[in-house]
Structure 1
Amino acid sequence: MLVLPDHGSNPQYTYKAMDIRMPDQIVDLSANINPHGPPAVLKKIWKDLLDEIITYPDPHSAALRRSIARKEEIEAEAILIGNGGAELIHLIGRWLSHSNVLIIHPTFSEYEKACQINDCTIHHFILKENDWDLDVNQLKATLPKMDAVFICNPTNPTGVLYSASKLEEIIIEANNKNCYVIVDEAFYDFPLEEVTIAPLVKKYTNLMVLRSMTKMFSIPGIRLGFLMAGETVVKELETYQVHWSVNGIAQKVGETLLEEKDFIRHTQCMVKREREELFAFFDECQFDYSPSQTNFYLLRDPELNGQTELFRFLLENGIVSRHTLNFKGLDGRWLRFAVKGEKEHEKLMDALTEWKSRP
């Protein structure tokens, strides 16, 4: 039985699982990280950051919380800093222990994993393929039996972006049914027109908003994310958090990166341009793709049901995509690709052209 890694990145494990020799040169399109790399300011301040390794970090990340609070126009007490978004997801899972949880699929696998290990009863709401639109009325009908619902926006892995008004309609109904809504905005800052519901945490006590600084700023090795919610929820989640879980370097880096508005805007424009050029090529070559508005998308050859054959072909040609075998509602019928730069996309398009020209 084929067992592939649960996440993108670390392509050596994918090659090993597929029993393919890993080429010396590869194009890794499996991880949704900003292709520009970290902002230049990090190199300028890196030596100064070394001072942080000789003292214990602030266990409450107070300075970073204040900086985020000013930017988001909420209270610092409504913010919890985490060792990446994954830590915060698992804190929520522990907090929801033995609850009824609804997960909207296809989506990030860590939500279900965090809830499973905390003995939650998990319910699945699977979106219809090709447009993955969110039927609010159908979803609202399930809420009376739920304690919490996870929504990713933009959705990983489809890249579909839901409006703030649609999400607020769900939050209002959930609030009436004593149900929490966890909205993961890990990729909210990649679309040119940002959609966020973070301001609503001041209005609805049942809302939690997750953010990651890993993706936009290309710092997966540093691990940094934050959660915005009502003060009571934040205090309860904080009791589950390991002391000093967010290191001092990460806290200082976070404060610095919050000021990088030009870097974000430049990335947004690049992602939109590159994505539109790719989609035009896919139309020409008759590939199906998801209506993504962010820095990744789903792709499939409509002549295949499962995409393992295409997945293998690309790996053999040094191009690493992300399988979807562990995404409910996709089950391997699509591949996920990150939006990168012109050179990477030329190699991808060359490989896909060769794929289509096979006898």
Structure 2
Amino acid sequence: MLPYTHGGDVLTAQARYGGPVLDCSANLNPLGMPPQVGEAAARAAAQAAPYPDPLCRELRAAIAAHDGVAPERVLCGSGAAELIFRLAFALRPRWALVTAPTFSEYEGALSAAGCAVTRHLLRRERNFDVDEGLLEAIGPDTELVFLCTPNNPTGRLIDQELLLAAAEKCRGLGAVLAVDECFLPLACGGPGLVPWLEEYPNLLLLRAFTKSYAMAGLRLGYALCADTALLERMSAGGPPWSVSTPAQAAGLAALTQCPHWPEKARAFLEGERPALAEGLSALGLDVVPGQANYLLFRAAGAADLKEKMVAQGVLIRSCANYHGLGEDWYRVCVGQAEQNRRLLAALREVL
């Protein structure tokens, strides 16, 4: 079995620690799952004997109304990760471009689909920001580009004008630009790139309830694109019924009963994120000024920090498997004040 390389592996951490641990590795909404969402999922689970709606009709209609698109522009999946793989296998590009560091599943999906991947390296001296150099990296052979805003694990937003310039260049080359906006609701308000979907049919947006509503265990994400033929190819490229009845009910409750939950989280994060960043910096850590619900930092020379933190009952995300980072880079989520205090206390103990 391949090793698990993402955050949120609480069971392994608990086995090593010998008891419950504080999970600071999974970058979810710090307010947790809204009660209405959990209740809707529980009610749906009691009615889960029939197959779920394979077309997610009611959920797609709610997403369309919330995001301001037509329902046929929406494709639901078992988390954004599934849709990343569906896109890679629907297109089967020969050459694709990703940034580094960024979410590893882009390259994982592309490699699984037999695609050669070019990495556009981001620089620490520029806070790992994506800049105009990206446009030069999009070459004539590029068939698919993956971008993430705010980027994971850096937490840095990509300038919207730059994203549109990338969409324009990709359109001229006949390439698809996939922009992962899963963390955007927790970083800033606004519609993201939705208003430009009709202008750029080669633009596909990835979104998820996982982060915004802290429902990672239910697995629910969706793609938005004006190219309905591409969405149909993605839909046909995977198994039916990939979105369970409880997940569909949870997503519907999130949008209809608590649509402002991410907004509440943003207000909370504006107070807690600077305090956590200041606390990390005070410990001598090199902190990237993130704009999302997580922070990336370097503990120079401390390649074993994750293991030492687990011994303190705290799980953090090692970023050693991110291209463009080293073994002493880590990511932590921004949690409640007491959770952040415990995280900093544990770090102070082991550093």
Is the pair's TM-score, using the shorter chain for normalization, greater than 0.5? yes
Quote the residue 1:228 is aligned against.
224
Write the letter of the residue equivalent to 1:157: P
Quote the residue 2:249 is aligned against.
252
- In structure 2, what is the Cα distance between the partners aligned to 1:139 and 1:326? 26
Q: Retained in 2: the 8 A contact 1:300–1:334?
A: yes
Residue segments in structure 1 that go unaligned for 5+ positions in a row:
none
Shift of 1:5: 3.0
Shift of 1:104: 1.0
Quote the residue 1:241 is aligned against.
238
- In structure 1, what is the Cα distance between the partners aligned to 2:20 and 2:219? 27
The change in CA–CA distance for 1:99 and 1:278 in structure 2 (over 3 A counts) is same
Quote the residue 1:50 is aligned against.
45
The change in CA–CA distance for 1:121 and 1:43 in structure 2 (over 3 A counts) is closer
Shift of 1:224: 0.4
Residue 273 of structure 2: SS of its match in structure 1? Answer: helix
Shift of 1:27: 1.3
Q: Pick one of 64, 69, 72 that aligns with 1:69.
A: 64
Shift of 1:137: 4.0
The change in CA–CA distance for 1:332 and 1:96 in structure 2 (over 3 A counts) is farther
Write the letter of the residue equivalent to 1:95: A
- In structure 1, what is the Cα distance between the partners aligned to 2:70 and 2:346? 50
Q: Pick one of 111, 117, 126 that aligns with 2:112.
A: 117
Shift of 1:51: 5.1
Shift of 1:351: 2.2
Write the letter of the residue equivalent to 1:281: G
- In structure 1, what is the Cα distance between the partners aligned to 2:195 and 2:169? 18
**Deviation per CA, 1:22-56, whole angstroms, max 9, x where unpaired?**
14242111111223221111344455323541222
- In structure 2, what is the Cα distance between the partners aligned to 1:95 and 1:46? 30
Quote the residue 2:6 is aligned against.
7
Shift of 1:195: 6.4
Residue 282 of structure 1: SS of its match in structure 2? Answer: helix
- In structure 2, what is the Cα distance between the partners aligned to 1:173 and 1:140? 10
Q: Pick one of 145, 150, 154 that aligns with 2:146.
A: 150
- In structure 2, what is the Cα distance between the partners aligned to 1:50 and 1:142? 45
1:104 equivalent in alignment to 2:99: yes
Shift of 1:275: 0.6
Shift of 1:222: 1.0
Residue 340 of structure 1: SS of its match in structure 2? Answer: coil
Quote the residue 2:281 is aligned against.
283
Shift of 1:4: 6.1
Write the letter of the residue equivalent to 1:270: F
**Deviation per CA, 1:195-248, whole angstroms, max 9, x where unpaired?**
611222121011110001011211111110000012121122111131111112
The change in CA–CA distance for 1:97 and 1:242 in structure 2 (over 3 A counts) is same
Quote the residue 1:190 is aligned against.
186
Q: Pick one of 121, 137, 141 that aligns with 1:126.
A: 121
Quote the residue 2:77 is aligned against.
82
**Deviation per CA, 1:158-203, whole angstroms, max 9, x where unpaired?**
1011122221111111111111101011111111445611222121
Quote the residue 1:342 is aligned against.
337
Quote the residue 2:267 is aligned against.
269
- In structure 2, what is the Cα distance between the partners aligned to 1:331 and 1:23? 29
Note the 1:158-197 alignment, pairs <5 A.
158-194=154-190, 196-197=192-193
Q: Retained in 1: the 8 A contact 2:59–2:251?
A: yes
1:299 equivalent in alignment to 2:297: yes
**Range 73-82 or range 187-196, more displaced:** 187-196
The change in CA–CA distance for 1:5 and 1:197 in structure 2 (over 3 A counts) is same
Residue 122 of structure 1: SS of its match in structure 2? Answer: strand
- In structure 2, what is the Cα distance between the partners aligned to 1:114 and 1:195? 27
Quote the residue 2:135 is aligned against.
139
1:41 equivalent in alignment to 2:24: no
After TM superposition, the score normalised by the length of structure 2 is 0.92
**Range 71-80 or range 347-356, more displaced:** 347-356
**Deviation per CA, 1:270-310, whole angstroms, max 9, x where unpaired?**
12211111122233333211121101111123xx23x3233
**Range 133-142 or range 98-107, more displaced:** 133-142
Aligned pairs, number? 347
Residue 317 of structure 1: SS of its match in structure 2? Answer: coil
The change in CA–CA distance for 1:182 and 1:98 in structure 2 (over 3 A counts) is closer
Residue 80 of structure 1: SS of its match in structure 2? Answer: strand
1:216 equivalent in alignment to 2:215: no
- In structure 1, what is the Cα distance between the partners aligned to 2:59 and 2:65? 10
- In structure 2, what is the Cα distance between the partners aligned to 1:276 and 1:113? 33
Alignment root-mean-square deviation, CA? 2.0
Shift of 1:15: 7.2
- Identity value in percent: 29
- In structure 2, what is the Cα distance between the partners aligned to 1:351 and 1:334? 17
Q: Retained in 1: the 8 A contact 2:41–2:250?
A: no
